Amino acid sequence: MELIKPGINIDFVGKSKLAFLISGLLILATFISLFVHGGPNYGIDFAGGILVQVRFKEPTDPASIRKALKPVGMSDAVIQDFGNKGNEFLIRAEKKGLKLEGLSDRIRQVLAKAYPKGYEVRRVEMVGPKVGKDLRRKALLAIFYALLMIAVYISGRFEQKWGLAAVMAAVLVGVTLLVQGIIGGGSITPLIIIALVVTLLACWVLRLRYALGAIVALIHDVIITVGVFSLLNKEFTLATVAALLTIIGYSLNDTIIVFDRIRENLKKGGKLPLAKVINDAVNQTLSRTILTSGTTLVVLVSLYLLGGGVIEDFAFALLVGVVVGTYSSIYVASPILLALPEGKPGLAKKIVPPPKKAAPQPAPAPQAAGQAPKVSKAKAAAAKQRKKKSKKRNKKRR
Amino acid sequence: MPKNIMWKAVLVLVLLVGALFYLVPTFSSNLPSWWQEMLPSDKIRLGLDLQGGMHLILEVDVAKAEQAAVERASQELRRKLREEKIRATRPEAIGDGRIKLTLLTKGEQAKFEDLIGNQFPWYDIASATTDPEGRVEIILKLKPSEAKRIREQAAAQALEIIRNRVDQFGVAEPEILPQEGGRILVQLPGIKDPQRAVALIGKTAQLEFKLVDDTVNPRTVTKATLPPGDELNYIYRRDHTTGRVSKEPIVIRKRASMTGETITDARVRVDSQYNEPYVSISFDARGKRQFADLTSRNVKKRLAIVLDGKVQSAPVIQEPITGGEARITGDFTMEEARDLAVVLRSGALPAPVRVLEERTVGPSLGQDSINQGIISMVVGFLLVVLFIAFYYKASGLVADMALFLNIIFIGAALAAFQATLTLPGIAGIILTIGMAVDANVLIFERVREELRLGKTPAAALDAGYGKATLTILDANITTLIAALVLFQFGTGPIRGFAVTLSLGIASSMFTAIYVTRLVFDLVLTRYSVKRLSI
């Protein structure tokens, strides 16, 4: 059986402008939503507060629970029917200034008074504001480090520039830690944003094109997943962050499959323009991309529908991330490769002015001896062709 | 059969059998004794979110410990000043590690400096100002190194005492670990009464004996009429039938005549007359002397027993108590008395602790989570297995078998390493099911491509495995990087997810690449396959 026929040829690269537009709009929507909601909707893990899951012996409703909770100052708590059976509820309060110490005990006492027939406290989560702030920092740093380490790995594996990538990462981590030490307990969000921008710029200047494509796609996936959560006003919890980190690791799989195929096709030589090579690679690996994401989506849907309320949001974040990740590895990561001018590291450009003559790559890091000439030949050929790509691409399509 | 293929098959079989041995204890409750002696008998450990339990992050208020040390030092200093006959005002702790006092005669400043240098080496004289009348106002400051030592010691002590209390509380396999910033992580699996545990762990248990000042009427006393050195406190009484709490005012001395630091033991006893539980405490030799001294000098007076600032009871001293034993009465339930004995036995915390984070899962929710997790795992597994078998036919069945093997290996690894399985951990296994077949999809798609180029089944398989393996490796390593960061970042349940994800990815590379290849090799050497079912 075949879902996607072998000879398929869809012009993905040609549609990349449209894709960039869609992605751009989604990212814009994310920022607007975050702005309107006043930042991410932090759950109690990050905001501090209390969550109590209670199952009552008899059915009840949020209004009477609210009334019962009045003596402990939680009458404005969020009360949510858990599992839609009318007898189990999530009670959540993030009110600042709420005295959290011993609060769960006081909640038990008032519930015991209001519900003499009985109830069972099934879950209590209480996070002090201090811990919440710490966790927020740690979560952001974790996402940043994951992106950075993956950037190093991609640069190393795909461009044989291990040393360069490692030095870059070390400098970034060093600066991050240093600035963190200087600003102390303050907000690290701007710091992370600056670090990411620097990472992207470094990839651009050092011509780490595969790394650039991969990281742009990853940041894209993370932002849009965050955006979906923000638009649906879902809460950010530790589990959401775990899902984001997993997405960072997993959504790259499809990207790597395509990148590997691009490299393989480039090694074969031929006089095809880079855009064509990339588009062919995406098409050749399309069935793989769809199938691998498909099996993962199947298990995630099963987890989302059957896994129970505790894990629901986690499964949802992963679902969104896998869908967005699949889209981005087809429409975002690969076309980004075209955005970078061919070949030479930015510094060398000034030393060797005529770009056409500089066919062999003056890359600072050693190339793998056997493949180097072939690759650069293919790339140089592609470079010449690339200028005409817009005219030729359509003609060359099968 | 070629030798190397046979050896590979043997290796896989050995690993499979080994994995099954590790899994048996989890699924069989009564193992024969010879098994327990010779073979692995550890079950898969369930996290707090699956078996129910309580997770606490506590913070020791080490600043309070420092403050207490400074206050003790100021009292000590007062005594030394008297011994050395240095005329000075009463030394006062004024916060921030400082002690203030005024020397009444200037000539004694050198002598005072000697005293500090010899007896209080961990204090610096921060300032000494002489006023026109020749009096010297002195501010002493605790040295930073000593302050640090006090704080660290307080944190370490608190950890030890909490560990002691939890041990006596009777929870199976509790976990008490120091965290960064002087915090303490406490995990109590399967706990039935979380509120009681919090009360027991968090109680400072600072026991003080203070004399009652019966010269004033506690009902009419006001702030203005309260004699200096006295404080107004309350005795709380609870009516056991109505549950109503009443409080009765009492005036006691501010200064403690004795504290609970010399307690060596505390036991619950039941009063034979009223059939009410009380706590009997015994002192060491020094405490015994102190208590005898205190009680013989104050016969017929009332002595208040104050726990963490609350008066428990204030009995009249009938006669000198020289046996080194005292009893704490109050209207306790049996359980409260038992907990009080535990905290007194384990000693007072050097500083109050606060609960920064609490996560409790009831056992019934844990069981629900297990059930739902398993159901979604089985459904997800079946859907993937059916799809792959349908899509890749016979080859798909090989991949399905590898997938099954993968789950066995994950379970066995969890049991063998005694890693904790959490609800997100189950989600991690489910996710790995979806991801492990990715490897086979990549290989099979490649094989199909090679077959379309006209290669023989054997050559196509060779090329397929050869070319896809590196890609699979790359893809899995990036996921592993993310899982490692996650392991570093997460605690509890989230860490469980990172664990199963990493295990699943690692073992999937073995099952999906090595084992499936082996099966194809076995088939190809035995039969001449003309057409690959893929």
CATH number at residue B278: 3.30.1360.200
- Is B171 within a domain? no
Q: Same domain for A153 and A123?
A: no
Q: Which of A251, A199, A256 is nearest to A225 (CA)?
A: A251
Among B438, B442, B481, the residue with its CB nearest the CB of A146 is: B481
pLDDT of residue A368: 41
- How many Cα neighbours within 13 Å face the side chain of A173? 15
Q: Quick check: is B175 in a domain? A: no
The answer as to whether B152 is a domain residue is: no
Would an 8 Å CB–CB cutoff place A127 in contact with chain B?
yes
Chain A CB contacts of B388 below 8 Å: 295
In a domain, A100, yes or no: yes
Q: 3-state class of A35 per DSSP? A: helix
Among candidates B195, B376, B479 on the partner chain, residue whose Cβ is nearest the Cβ of A253: B479
Q: Where a domain ends, among B131, B147, B163?
A: B147
Please indicate, yes or no, if residue B414 is contained in any of the structural domains: yes
Put simply, whether A166 touches B (Cβ < 8 Å) is no
Give the count of Cβ contacts less than 8 A between chain A and B.
215
Name the residue among A149, A148, A145 with its Cα closest to residue A137: A145
Block residue for tokens 């107004």: B232
Residue B480 maps to which CATH number?
1.20.1640.10
The answer to whether B135 and B87 are in contact (CB under 8 A) is no
At residue A354 the predicted structure's pLDDT band, cuts being 50, 70 and 90, is very low
Domain boundary among A106, A127, A148: A127
Q: Which helix (H) or strand (E) holds B238?
A: strand B230-238
Fill in the DSSP letter of residue B223: T
A300 in reach of chain B (CB within 8 A): yes
Q: What are phi and psi of A212, to 5 degrees?
A: -60, -45
Same domain assignment for residues B387 and B464? yes
Q: Which of residues 131-150 of B touch A (CB under 8 A)?
A: none
Is residue B247, in this structure, part of any structural domain at all?
Answer: yes
User: Which residue, among B467, B414, B411, has the nearest Cα to B439 in the 3D structure?
Assistant: B467
Closest CA to B164 of B353, B355, B349, B336: B349
Full DSSP string of B520-532: HHHHHHHS--SS-
> Which amino acid is residue B136, in one-letter code?
V
CA A41 to CA A228: how far, in whole Å?
12
- A1–B479: do the CB atoms touch at under 8 Å? no
- B-chain residues near A315 (CB < 8 A): 427
For A59-84, how does the pLDDT look when each residue is reduced to its tens digit (9 = 90+)?
Answer: 888 888 888 888 888 878 888 888 77
- Which of A241, A288, A303 shows the shortest C-beta gap to B430? A303
Instruction: Confirm if B383 and A306 have CB atoms less than 8 A apart.
Output: no
Q: What share of chain A is helix, strand, coil (3-state, %, to 5)?
A: 65, 5, 25
Q: What is the mean pLDDT of chain A?
A: 79
Q: How confident is the model at residue A352 (pLDDT cuts 50, 70, 90)?
A: very low
Contact yes or no for B361 and A127 at CB 8 A: no
Residue B348 lies in a domain: no
Per-residue b/e over B260-297, b at no fewer than 16 CB within 10 Å? Answer: bebbeebbbeeeeeeebbbbebbbeeebbebbbebbee
Beta strand B303-307 pairing with B207-211: antiparallel
Q: Does A124 touch chain B (CB under 8 A)?
A: yes
Q: What is the token pair recorded at B168?
A: 């006596």
Tell me the chain A residues in contact with residue B480 when contact means C-beta distances shorter than 8 Å. Answer: 249
Calpha distance A244→B482 (Å, rounded): 9
Would the CA dihedral through B350, B355, B357, B363 be positive or negative? positive
Instruction: Please tell me if residue A138 touches chain B, with a CB cutoff of 8 Å.
Output: yes
Whether residue A313 lies inside any domain: the answer is: yes
pLDDT of A365 higher than 70: no
Domain limits at A117? Answer: 49-127
A119: nearest Cα among A73, A64, A43: A64
Does any domain span residue A369? no
A121 and A35 in a common domain: no
B381 inside 8 A of chain A by CB: yes
Give the angle B167-B169-B171 at the CA atoms, nearest 5°.
Answer: 75
A365 at interface of B, judged by CB pairs closer than 8 A: no
Return the bridge partners of B54, or none. B188, B360
Rounded to a whole number of angstroms, the distance between the first and last alpha carbons of chain A is 24
**Chain A nearest C-alpha distance from B184 (Å):** 13
- One domain, residues A296 and A265: yes
Q: Do B368 and B514 belong to one domain?
A: yes
Across B378-524, the runs of DSSP E, i.e. the strands, are 420-421
pLDDT of residue B243: 66
Rounded to the nearest angstrom, the minimum Cα separation between B68 and chain A is: 23
Q: Are residues A107 and A139 in the same domain?
A: no
**A53 shares contact with chain B (CB less than 8 Å):** yes
Measured between CA atoms, the residue of chain A closest to residue B381 is: A299
State residue B28's pLDDT score: 80
Claim to verify: residue A118 and residue A257 sit in the same structural domain? no
Q: What is the CATH number of the domain that holds A89?
A: 3.30.70.3400
A53 and A150 fall within a common domain: no
Cβ-contact A306, B375 below 8 angstroms:
yes
End-to-end CA, chain B: 24
- Picking from A130, A246, A306, the nearest residue to B482 by CB comes out as A246
Identity of the highest mean pLDDT range in A28-37, A106-115, A388-397: A28-37
The whole-angstrom distance between B504's CA and the closest CA on chain A is 13
- Verify whether the Cβ–Cβ distance A252 to B479 is below 8 Å: yes
Which residues on chain A are in Cβ contact (under 8 Å) with B361? 122-123
Residue B231 shares a structural domain with residue B107: no
In chain B, the number of structural domains is: 3
Reported as a pLDDT band with limits 50, 70 and 90, residue A361 is very low
Q: By C-alpha distance, which of B457, B493, B409, B402 is closest to B51?
A: B493
Cβ–Cβ gap A146/B372 under 8 Å: no
**Does pLDDT of A391 surpass 60?**
no
Cβ of residue A113 closer than 8 Å to a chain B Cβ: no
Instruction: Using a pLDDT cut of 90, give the percent of chain A over it.
Output: 18
Is B478's CB within 8 Å of A130's CB? no
> Taking 80 as the threshold, does the pLDDT of residue A143 lie above it?
yes
Residue A392 pLDDT class (50, 70, 90 cuts): very low
Spatial separation of the C-alpha atoms in residues B261 and B204, rounded to whole Å: 12
**Under a CB-based contact definition with an 8 Å cutoff, are residues B5 and B458 in contact?**
no
| Nearest C-alpha in A relative to B48 | A123
Domain range for B143 is: 63-147
Facing residue for A299 by CB, picked from B380, B391, B470:
B380
Is B500 part of a structural domain of the chain?
yes
Length of chain B: 534
Which residues, numbered 383 to 442 in chain B, qualify as contacts with chain A under a Cβ-Cβ cut-off of 8 Å? 383-384, 387-388, 390-391, 423-424, 427, 430-431, 433-435, 437-438, 441-442
- Do residue B128 and residue B263 come from a single domain? no
What span, in angstroms and rounded, lies between the C-alpha atoms of B254 and B307? 14
Band of residue A347 on the pLDDT scale cut at 50, 70, 90? very low
Q: How many domains does chain A have?
A: 2
Pairwise CA distance, residues B247 & B241, whole Å: 16
Q: Is A208 exposed, middle or buried (0-12, 13-18, 19+ CB in 10 A)?
A: buried
Q: Is B1 exposed, middle or buried (0-12, 13-18, 19+ CB in 10 A)?
A: exposed
What is the pLDDT at residue A183? 61
Q: What is the CATH number of the domain that holds A322?
A: 1.20.1640.10
Q: Is residue B166 part of a domain?
A: no
* Site from A134, A306, A319, A371 to mutate, B interface, most B CB atoms within 10 angstroms: A306
Across the interface, whether the CB atoms of B475 and A287 are under 8 A apart is answered: no
- What is the reported pLDDT for A341? 58
The CA R_g of chain A, rounded to the nearest whole Å, is 26
Q: Report the residue of A55, A245, A263 to disrupt the B interface, i.e. the one with the largest count of B CBs within 10 Å.
A: A245
Higher pLDDT, A290 or A369: A290
Q: Is the pLDDT of residue A265 over 50?
A: yes
Instruction: Say if A394 falls within a structural domain.
Output: no
| Buried b / exposed e along B70-102 (16+ C-beta atoms within 10 A) | beebbeebbebbeeeebebeebebeeebbbbbb
Q: What confidence score (pLDDT) does residue B502 get?
A: 94
Amino acid at position B211, single letter: L
pLDDT band of residue A224 (cuts 50, 70, 90) is very high
Determine the distance in angstroms separating the CA of A314 from the nearest CA of chain B, rounded to an integer: 8
Please tell me the distance from the alpha carbon of residue B413 to that of residue B419, in angstroms, as a whole number. Answer: 8
Q: Which residues of B touch A308 (CB under 8 A)?
A: 368-369, 372-373
| Residues of chain B with C-beta less than 8 angstroms from the C-beta of A245 | 482-483, 485-486, 489
CB-based contact B358 A124, cutoff 8 Å:
yes
Q: Which one of B113, B129, B147 terminates a domain?
A: B147
One domain for residues B125 and B260: no
Reading chain B (534 residues) residue by residue, the pLDDT tens digits are 678 888 999 999 999 999 999 998 888 877 788 887 888 888 888 988 898 999 999 999 888 889 888 988 888 888 888 888 888 888 888 888 899 988 888 788 888 888 888 888 889 888 888 888 888 888 999 999 999 999 888 888 899 989 988 888 778 788 899 887 778 999 999 888 888 888 888 888 888 899 998 888 888 888 788 888 888 898 887 776 666 778 889 999 988 888 888 888 889 988 888 788 889 999 999 899 999 999 999 999 999 989 888 888 888 888 898 888 888 887 788 888 888 888 888 888 888 888 888 999 988 888 999 999 999 999 999 999 999 999 999 999 999 999 999 999 999 999 999 998 999 999 999 999 999 999 999 999 999 999 999 999 999 999 999 988 988 988 898 899 999 999 988 777 888 999 999 999 999 999 999 999 999 999 988 888 788 888
Q: Does A87 touch chain B (CB under 8 A)?
A: no
Given A294, A320, A339, the domain boundary residue is A339
- CB A276, CB A334: distance < 8 Å: no
Confirm whether A6 is domain-assigned.
no
B287 and B433 together in one domain = no
Same domain as B370, residue B496 = yes
In angstroms, the separation between the Cα of residue B101 and the nearest Cα of chain A is 37
Tell me, yes or no, whether A308 and A334 share the same domain. Answer: yes
Last residue of a domain, one of A95, A110, A127: A127
pLDDT bucket at A355, cuts 50 / 70 / 90: very low
Q: Residue A307: which of B49, B372, B438 has the nearest Cβ?
A: B372
Give the residue from B282, B315, B332 where a domain finishes: B332
Residues A191 and A232 in one domain: yes
Which residues 191-210 on chain B approach chain A with CB closer than 8 angstroms? 194-195, 198
Does one domain contain both B281 and B421?
no
Domain identity same for A184 and A318: yes
Residue A109 and residue A60 share a domain: yes
Q: Could B427 and A150 be called an inter-chain contact, meaning their C-beta atoms sit closer than 8 Å?
A: no
| Alpha carbon distance A334, A394 (integer Å) | 18
Test B438 with A128 for CB contact under 8 angstroms: no
- Please list, in sequence order, all residues whose beta carbon lies within 8 angstroms of the beta carbon of residue B210, skipping any fewer than 6 positions away: B252, B253, B254, B255, B256, B257, B303, B304, B306
Q: Is B49 on the interface with A (CB under 8 A)?
A: yes
Q: Does B440 share its domain with B495?
A: yes
Q: Which residues of B339-376 are buried (b: 16+ CB within 10 A; e: fewer)?
A: bbbbbbbbbbbbbbbbbbbbbbbbbebbebbbebbeeb
> Nearest CB to B390: which of A1, A100, A123?
A1
Rounded Cα distance between B373 and B50, Å, is 10
Distance from CA of A173 to the nearest CA of B (A): 14
- CATH code of the domain covering residue B112: 3.30.70
Tell whether A147 and A235 lie within a shared domain. yes
Which residue in this structure is represented by tokens 């997405």?
A247
Q: Per the domain annotation, does A347 fall within a domain?
A: no
Does the pLDDT value for residue A288 go beyond 60? yes
Kindly state the tokens that stand for B448. 């199909």
B:330-369 residues touching chain A, CB 8 A cutoff: 354-362, 364-365, 368-369
pLDDT beyond 70 at A358: no
Any A CB within 8 A of B24 CB: no
Q: What residues of chain A lie within 8 A of the CB of B483, using their CB?
A: 245-246, 249
Distance, in Å, from the CA atom of B154 to the CA atom of B351, rounded to the nearest integer, reads 7
Do the interacting molecules here have an ipTM over 0.85? no
